[in-house]
Amino acid sequence: MRIAINGMGRIGRLLFRRLAGRKDLELIAINDIMEPGNLAYLLKYDSVYGTYQHEITLENDERLLVNGQSIAVLQQSDPAKLPWKDLGVDVVLECSGKFTSRAGASTHLSVGAKKVLLSTTGAPEIPLMIYGFNQHLLTPETDIISPGGCMTNCSTHILYLMNSIGIESAHINVLHSYTSRQGIVDAPHKQFRRGRAAAESIIPVEIDLAHSLETLFPLLQGKIATVSTRVPVANGALADFTLQLKQPAAADQINQLFRTAAATEYKGIIDYTEEQLVSLDIKGNTHSCILDGTLTSVVGNHVKLITWFDNEFGYTSRMLDWLQYWKRVLG
């Protein structure tokens, strides 16, 4: 499978690191309007994940040589002008955040790509598919999919498993590291609080997570409320679920539910721990969520669950899972 990445932000660059040198998923091209020398520098040196373990060489601002592989470097702002047909691209990882509608993402198809995998929640007309939950709905004819976001991938599995007991309502607060959509100094923003200095405050921000989850769980329509609280760390997240259940459940019962799921049908996607973890311990973890059994608490029908996840590494792990799954479906 021949892969191209459009957009070399945090997710695009991490996908580059994880794809470069692989034989089964061949990264052949990347596209970003960033100056190529700066791009090569940011691929090599990363403030979260450290220095890249392989040498990266930039040739004539046109190709990157890494781990014995030559990867084309493009600087095209208009995806309609990208050479995907000439390069024989099978799948474009659309990581720019700009082409999340059907019309926008289809531009990659019009210039020769066979499939497009977004790196975010797309427009309503694009299928929302969460790996480990509804990937079986993928067909050979599906040409664009959204794998959701890191928070959706974490929350989906929690709600699905807890709904085996029965959920009346769910409040979710995701304590999330700051992102590029925040500033390091106070600045104007349509969401006033999002414009405040990211490393100086705990900042509640509006998110569309509830809408995505209600799309996946129609029976929970109107029963989910969500917020993200941005905290002054560069990586890692803690998701706080407050659930009202339809019937009483003991903490041990709930923990066993997740312990079993993590060891069987959800192995590799969710995990269970009783270690005394903090967010830094999650860096580089490949799971969509890790339920912390030491923090499960129950009062009557009210349950609080705490999960951890690496908002970048865990999410890109699911994108790689999608590529492997897509490869199997395509034969």
pTM of the predicted model as reported, rounded to 2 decimal places: 0.95
- Residue 289 appears among annotated catalytic residues: no
For residue 181, pLDDT over 90 is answered with no
Class for domain 2-119, per CATH? alpha beta
pLDDT band at 180 (very low <50, low <70, confident <90, very high): confident
Structure confidence at residue 331 (pLDDT) = 61
User: How many Cα atoms occupy the beta-carbon half-sphere of 50 within 13 Å?
Assistant: 4
Q: How confident is the model at residue 306 (pLDDT cuts 50, 70, 90)?
A: very high
Q: Are strands 115-118 and 91-94 parallel, antiparallel or unpaired?
A: parallel
How confident is the model at residue 194, as a pLDDT?
Answer: 92
Residue 321 has pLDDT above 90, yes or no: yes
How many residues does this entry show for the chain?
Answer: 331
151: its two tokens: 């928070």
199-250 pLDDT tens trace: 999 999 999 999 999 999 999 999 999 999 999 999 999 999 999 999 999 9
Task: Kindly list the distances between the CA atom of residue 238 and the CA atoms of 114, 171, 216, in Å, as whole numbers in the listed order.
Answer: 36, 14, 22
Share of the chain above pLDDT 90, in %: 92
Instruction: State the residue for tokens 């959920």.
Output: 167
Residues 6+ apart with CB under 8 A from 246: 165, 166, 167, 168, 301
Predicted pLDDT at 200 = 96
Task: Report residue 65 CA to chain centroid gap.
Answer: 27
* Higher pLDDT pick, 5 / 330: 5
Under CATH, which number does the domain 150-311 receive? 3.30.360.10
What's the pLDDT at 124? 92
> What does the alpha-carbon distance between residue 290 and residue 154 come to, in Å, rounded to a whole number?
8
From the list 95, 150, 154, 289, the catalytic residue is 150
pLDDT tens track for 23-73: 889 999 999 999 999 999 999 999 999 999 999 999 999 999 998 899 999
What is the average per-residue pLDDT within 288-314?
97
Closest among 328, 249, 237 to 277, alpha carbons compared = 237
Q: Copy the structure tokens of residue 24.
A: 């089964």
- Reduce the secondary structure of the chain to three states and give it as a string: CEEEEECCCHHHHHHHHHHCCCCCCEEEEEECCCCHHHHHHHHHCCCCCCCCCCCEEEECCCEEEECCEEEEEECCCCHHHCCHHHHCCCEEEECCCCCCCHHHHHHHHHCCCCEEEECCCCCCCCCECCCCCCHHHCCCCCCEEECCCHHHHHHHHHHHHHCCCCEEEEEEEEEEECCCCCECCCCCCCCHHHHCECCCCCEEECCCHHHHHHHHCHHHCCCEEEEEEEECCCCCEEEEEEEEECCCCCHHHHHHHHHHHHHCCCECCEEEECCCCCHHHHCCCCCCEEEEHHHCEEECCEEEEEEEECCCHHHHHHHHHHHHHHHHHHC
| pLDDT for position 329 | 79
With contact defined as beta carbons under 8 Å apart, do 212 and 128 qualify?
Answer: yes
Both tokens assigned to 203:
């900042």
pLDDT-derived band of residue 265, with 50, 70 and 90 as boundaries?
Answer: very high
The residues spanned by each domain of the chain are: 2-119, 150-311
Is residue 296 a contact partner of residue 304, using CB atoms and an 8 Å limit?
yes
pLDDT above 80 (res 251): yes
Mean of all residue pLDDT scores within the chain: 95
* 103-140 confidence digits (pLDDT tens): 999 999 999 999 999 999 999 999 999 999 999 888 88
